Structure formats: C-alpha cells, structure tokens
Chains A and B, each alone.
Chain A
C-alpha cells in the first residue's frame, strides 16, 4: 500500500522567514510526486516532480525530489501572510494511474 508522510504537521512562522516542508513516501512503481496548496477551498497544483535532483521553482517556492532516499522538500523563502495554507504532498504510481495517494498535509501559518 502506498504511503505518504508529511512533516511537520503544522508550522507557525513570521513574515520574511524561510520554511522547509518535508514529504517522505513509499510507493511501488513510482511515477511522480506532486505538491498542492490548499487555502480555503480546493487544492491547487504547485509542482510535479519525476526526476531526482532537478529543482522546480516558481517565484519564492521551490521543490526537489530525492528518489534514492524517497523524499521531497518544498521550500518557501521570504514568506508572506498569503502563503498561509495547507500544503499537500501526493504520489502516483505507474501501476495505479489516475490514483493519487496524499499525505495529511502541513498547515503553515505566517504571522505579520
């Protein structure tokens, strides 16, 4: 059974801080790891990672995958109050295409 563990479960920082969110996984026949941001309603896509060591970047957010150690990190630099959200990590396997397994999420609170 596929498994995704995120840490920490919650985090409180102040504006301007840098945060690192962790995601470890166990999946047979790994296809991809995805990060989503969830504010008040539905999750929205941030990154999809398929190869080790290649950083994906979007503004102040970046993410990298380590397929040998089976984990990914999501970094947010110069945090803003608008970064407050639940960050979800999910994995997909080739043998179960269309079926994503999610972690429990990290709730990030950025205080002014």
Chain B
C-alpha cells in the first residue's frame, strides 16, 4: 500500500537551478496539495488542486509552479531556486468528502 509517494527525499541545489519534486498517490484522491515546513512555522500551503486540470495558489506560491494532468500525479517545480526555499516539502492528498490529509514522507531541500 504505497499511499503518497514523494521523490527525491533529499536534494541540494545551487541558487538559480531548477528542479521538480515528484508526488504520486494511488488512493484515487481528488485533492492534492503541497506544503512547506520551516522550523517553528507549522505547514504553509504552496499550491493545491481539487482535480485533474485544476490548480490554485496557497499562502506562499511565489517561485513555484504546479500542474495536475492526471489524478495520480502532482509535481512541484522550482523555477529558479533561492536560499529562502530551503525547507522540508510535503505532498498531501485527500478525498473530497473528508478533510483528512494523507502525507508523503517529505522532501528535504537545501539551496546553497
């Protein structure tokens, strides 16, 4: 039972580089979202999607892009990495009828 799978688990980037964090879920959940977690700041929503082809911005969307071409996949793209994007990133999914989020294991990103 895979649940929500995120890759990579760790990544080090140089300022200005781009990369994509992958997220896939096999639970047929309609909702998917990306959060970042910084020390002492809980989880902040970056982008979310209520279904394939539909995405919207969260609290901290600047510097990130998303797309949702299938129900299963919701990649997060960093266009030009900055040190302020050093964080732990979590992908989550849920059913439309419940609020319970299922989280991936997280991706720790360091931007030098």
Interface residues of A (CB under 8 A from B): 6, 9, 31-32, 34, 36, 41-45, 48, 88, 90, 92, 97-105
Which residues 60-112 of B have a CB within 8 angstroms of A? 90, 94, 96, 98-106
By a CB distance below 8 angstroms, the chain A residues around B40 are: 9, 104
Question: CB-nearest residue of chain A relative to B9?
Answer: A41
Once the chains bind, are A45 and B101 in contact (CB under 8 Å)? yes
Q: Which residues of B (8-31) have their CB < 8 Å from a CB of A?
A: 30-31
Complexed CA–CA distance, A2 and B47 (Å): 16
Q: How many angstroms from the CA of A47 to the CA of B49 in the assembled complex?
A: 23
Contact status B43-A45, CB under 8 Å:
no
Contact between B100 and A41, CB atoms less than 8 A apart: no
| Residues in chain A near residue B98, CB distance under 8 A | 48
A98 contact from B59, B96, B105, B106, Cβ within 8 A: B96
B100/A34 in contact, CB under 8 A: yes
Q: CA–CA, A44 to B102, complex, Å?
A: 7
Known contacts: A9-B40, A41-B105, A41-B106. The answer to whether A101 contacts B45 by CB under 8 A is yes
Nearest residue in A to B90 (C-beta to C-beta)? A42
B53 within 8 A of A: no
**A97 proximity list for chain B (CB < 8 A):** 31, 50, 96
**Complex Cα–Cα for A51 and B42 (A):** 25
Residue of A nearest to B91 (CB): A42
A88 lies within 8 A of B106 (CB): no
CB-CB under 8 A for A98 and B42, given A43-B101, A48-B100: no
Q: Which residue of B lies closest to A43 (CB)?
A: B103
Beta-carbon contact of A88 and B33 below 8 Å: no
Identify the closest chain A residue to B41 (Cβ).
A104
Point out the residue from B42, B56, B105 that lies within 8 Å of A88, measured CB to CB. B42
Do A100 and B103 have beta carbons less than 8 Å apart?
Answer: no
